[in-house]
Structure 1
Amino acid sequence: MPPIPSQYIRRAAEWTDAFDTINLTYDGRFLRRKVLTTTRGTRFLVDLAHTTSLDQGDAFELEDGRLVEVVAANENLLEVTGVDLARIAWHVGNRHTPCQIEAERLLIQRDHVIRNMLQLIGAEVREIVEPFRPEGGAYGHGRTQPHDHGHVHDHAH
């Protein structure tokens, strides 16, 4: 049976009542065309007009109108803490490393080079496994095409 087509994304605030979910890593949430399988086993073909960055709570709209909610999957991360977290965050940002910023910690993808650099500047670093939801950048969805400000779903219902 061929996968069900999906050409539209609904952002988190634009929908309710998904029939299923799909767990995707940070890298997996950046796509244009790919066959995916939901938690319950439904196969669908994502076929978007542009490469798009998805966030936790966004949904794929299938051709038949059903919605599949995007869930951030657990990933191998580094938890970064320290007394001068703002300075540590600057060093992470200076290396253009995706970063989830929280009040008491930073989360980044595991990278031994960045880990060593952070430890050299006094950061405490430990390996963890959690969902990864880094900051999206100045225009929200930081990995989308330069002139795409999140207006992915543009058809009428």
Structure 2
Amino acid sequence: MPMQTAQTYRDHGHGPAVDRVTLTYDERFLRRKVLTTDSGAQVLVDLAQTTSMDHGGRLITDGGEIEVIAAPEPLIKITGDLTRLAWHIGNRHTPCQMGADHLLIQTNHVMEDMLGKLGATVAPITAPFTPEGGAYGHGRTHGHAH
């Protein structure tokens, strides 16, 4: 079976997925790479530009749509004064997933120490990481030149 190529990514599907690819947050930021799907098939992702792929997004191939799944990964669960803590996390341009009663960030001992000093309760967990996108567009932002 020849390797399929995905040159298009969509934020959502337009039909049933023929396969899935499970990737961490860092792995979901790519332009060109060979990925192995959950069924063991390989697909060459060859996008026009580097793209931040979201959980539930789709890679479009000639053989159909491949659903992108956020993989469980080591994270830090943060509770406390969420408004204050979110400000400090955002001020350091750290990707953050927000829940009703907690925040999640990737494992980072420097951030964990800082948040503890700010009164946060921090605990290691393993979960899919789907942080908020940038305010000036989808996905990730880079620097201050919005």
- Identity, in percent, stands at 57
Deviations 1:12-52 (A, max 9, x none): 1x422001101010001100000001111111100000000
Distance 1:30 1:9, change over 3 A: same
Letter in 1 for 2:116: Q
Quick check: which one's strand share is greater? 2
Q: Show the counterpart of 1:58.
A: 57
Paired residues of 1:5 and 1:45 also in contact (CA < 8 A): yes
CA drift at 1:123: 0.1
Q: Show the counterpart of 1:155.
A: none
Distance 1:65 1:2, change over 3 A: closer
Q: TM-score normalised to the size of structure 2? A: 0.92
Q: TM-score normalised to the size of structure 1? A: 0.86
Paired residues of 1:78 and 1:110 also in contact (CA < 8 A): yes
The match for 1:124 among 102, 116, 121 is: 121
Q: Show the counterpart of 1:48.
A: 47
Q: Using the alignment, how far apart are the partners of 1:135 and 1:102 within structure 2? A: 11
Q: Give 3-state SS (helix, strand or coil) of 1:91's partner.
A: helix
| Structure 1, 128-137 or 3-12: larger mean CA deviation | 3-12
Q: Show the counterpart of 2:134.
A: 137
- Note the residue ranges of structure 1 that are not aligned, 5 or more in a row: 147-157
- Note the residue ranges of structure 2 that are not aligned, 5 or more in a row: none
Cα RMSD over matched residues? Answer: 1.6
Q: Give 3-state SS (helix, strand or coil) of 1:116's partner.
A: helix
Q: Using the alignment, how far apart are the partners of 1:89 and 1:116 within structure 2? A: 15
Deviations 1:95-144 (A, max 9, x none): 11000011100000000000000000100000000000000011342326
Q: Using the alignment, how far apart are the partners of 1:123 and 1:115 within structure 2? A: 9
Paired residues of 1:52 and 1:144 also in contact (CA < 8 A): no
Q: Show the counterpart of 1:71.
A: 69
Q: Show the counterpart of 1:29.
A: 28
The match for 1:86 among 83, 87, 90 is: 83
1:9 equivalenced with 2:6 (yes/no): no
Q: Using the alignment, how far apart are the partners of 1:42 and 1:88 within structure 2? A: 42
Q: Using the alignment, how far apart are the partners of 1:110 and 1:143 within structure 2? A: 18
Q: Which runs of 4+ in 1 moved over 6 A?
A: none
Q: Using the alignment, how far apart are the partners of 1:31 and 1:127 within structure 2? A: 27
